[in-house]
Structure 1
């Protein structure tokens, strides 16, 4: 099995597609030794990945429900208190919502119905998160604890890395891993003109987003990472945090390959 994006098409082949043409192209590329097979996870890791992705589905559901609740309140002319005006749906927000006094019972019932949906999904979210952490720590304890030693990488991020990326030892170097995750810088050169195009569009978007989020936490807890971030201050914030994420990714590969936990404050 190969990635369709890795199959090179010449000239007219880019504009014509039939099963026969596709077969001829694959046979040609295979004969010339230009194709690399993709990695299939073992059943245990594949099902762990399904659990991790289920958690992300529930995160989206929670955000969607809160958005619907806020739209309902806006429709009724009720302003959400500033402390609750965010993407999270805290218990405080639920208590505040329960305490609202609406003129008609039907409007109250709509909000209560939405809150019942939220509380059900929130309970599912917590259960799935607990099972994800528990299963990863039980079956991949060595790698899990190595990843947890890195500032910024919490239980969920560690579980995501192990489920989505599989065995990191299969990556030969950081360039190989960064290219897979999508934290490799793009470049376009024509003659003397060189233009950096930012991160690659081809990526593992879910894990890349987790590394970006983990990088914000890393610069708060690790003095080395904090110094690296400050060294690039003044530049585009998004570009800088991608640099930090790539450095965090490098640490991730290093601790897995060496089997040595990361030590905070050690200059790299």
Structure 2
């Protein structure tokens, strides 16, 4: 008489997977029924992980998590395509003990992620669509190019100071804006040594390369601003005082959809326009603006706020009132919040901004 083999069925049960993602391997921890089943290393392939889970825990619900990092959203999309409900988390949001910080290792990180996921302590970040991810890459690349331009300008200034070279008075304004005439003058400089001249020439050449990159990117963004998929949103954003085309693309690529923020406070928190708080007992103190932010977006919004107070009478009036009781840098943060509220309004209601609205 043949004995029947009973097939194990995990129908309706939840299996949680913490993944410490690396380029050459994944360290995976699996938790089921509040018990750590296994921690192991595997090839970085979503299909292999999916097959393992389906064979080991048939008909279960599979949930996974990994920390945001070098691989972007590609791993998330692969996991989702293979039947695993995945989230990506900000590393700063994963509950971490002092021991975890001092004894960091892949297996420990993987277990920590799996435990936090199974206990419902994690909230995933927003997942961009592929088109918007491409736009964000372009906008952030431009930001890096701008950073390189600033760096090489500072290097040139340092070289000039080193050799005691000053620009002619007629080029004072050109030196501020690095005009074509100023660059032409820089190329005529001959320092005391051939080596010093070589360094200056190479630095100027690199600066010019980065400026050409910036021009090329700006032209591409200008072209994209006329395409149907972006035109409407960009036009809504640039109707807000202080918001130009470049800043509009930063806002669009970093936020994608305004409806993912339940209210203005959530949006301000994401941008980084809220103060740090310290609440103990009956005392509650507010400190400086939080360091946690979307750095590029916060920088653009604050810069736009300075422009907006020169273009919008209502914001200028409010800035004047605020400046009477706080420092200008603190006052402009309040204006930035108001500007962000206007941005939220035009995107949510799909209506262009009107200056008469206070």
Q: TM-score, normalised by structure 1?
A: 0.88
Q: 1:34/1:124 Cα in 2 relative to 1: closer, same or farther (>3 Å)? A: same
Q: 1:123/1:9 Cα in 2 relative to 1: closer, same or farther (>3 Å)? A: closer
The answer for the alignment partner of 1:239 in structure 2 is: 330
Aligned residues: 266
Q: What is the deviation of 1:118?
A: 2.4
Higher helix proportion (structure 1 or 2): 1
The answer for the alignment partner of 2:223 in structure 1 is: 134
Show CA shifts across 1:107-130 (max 9, x none). Answer: 655544433332222122111112
Q: 1:110/1:193 Cα in 2 relative to 1: closer, same or farther (>3 Å)? A: same
Q: 1:161/1:137 Cα in 2 relative to 1: closer, same or farther (>3 Å)? A: farther
Tell me, in whole angstroms, the C-alpha distance in 1 between the residues paired with 2:216 and 2:195. Answer: 32
Q: What is the deviation of 1:202?
A: 1.3
Is 158-167 or 215-224 further displaced after alignment?
158-167
The answer for the alignment partner of 2:210 in structure 1 is: 121
Higher strand proportion (structure 1 or 2): 2
Q: What is the deviation of 1:218?
A: 0.3
Is 77-86 or 100-109 further displaced after alignment?
100-109
Is 1:226 the counterpart of 2:226? The answer is: no
Tell me, in whole angstroms, the C-alpha distance in 2 between the residues paired with 1:254 and 1:58. Answer: 31
Q: What is the deviation of 1:191?
A: 3.4
Q: What is the deviation of 1:22?
A: 3.8
Q: Is the 8 A contact 1:62 1:89 kept in 2?
A: no
Q: Give the RMSD, CA atoms, in angstroms.
A: 2.5
Higher relative contact order (CA 8 A, sep 6+): 1
5+ residue gaps, structure 2: 1-87
Tell me, in whole angstroms, the C-alpha distance in 2 between the residues paired with 1:74 and 1:170. Answer: 50
5+ residue gaps, structure 1: none
Tell me, in whole angstroms, the C-alpha distance in 2 between the residues paired with 1:106 and 1:5. Answer: 47
| Larger Rg computed on CA atoms | 2
Q: Is the 8 A contact 1:186 1:200 kept in 2?
A: yes
Q: TM-score, normalised by structure 2?
A: 0.67
Q: 1:111/1:256 Cα in 2 relative to 1: closer, same or farther (>3 Å)? A: same
Tell me, in whole angstroms, the C-alpha distance in 1 between the residues paired with 2:207 and 2:104. Answer: 46
Is 17-26 or 28-37 further displaced after alignment?
17-26
Q: What is the deviation of 1:92?
A: 3.1
The answer for the alignment partner of 1:214 in structure 2 is: 304
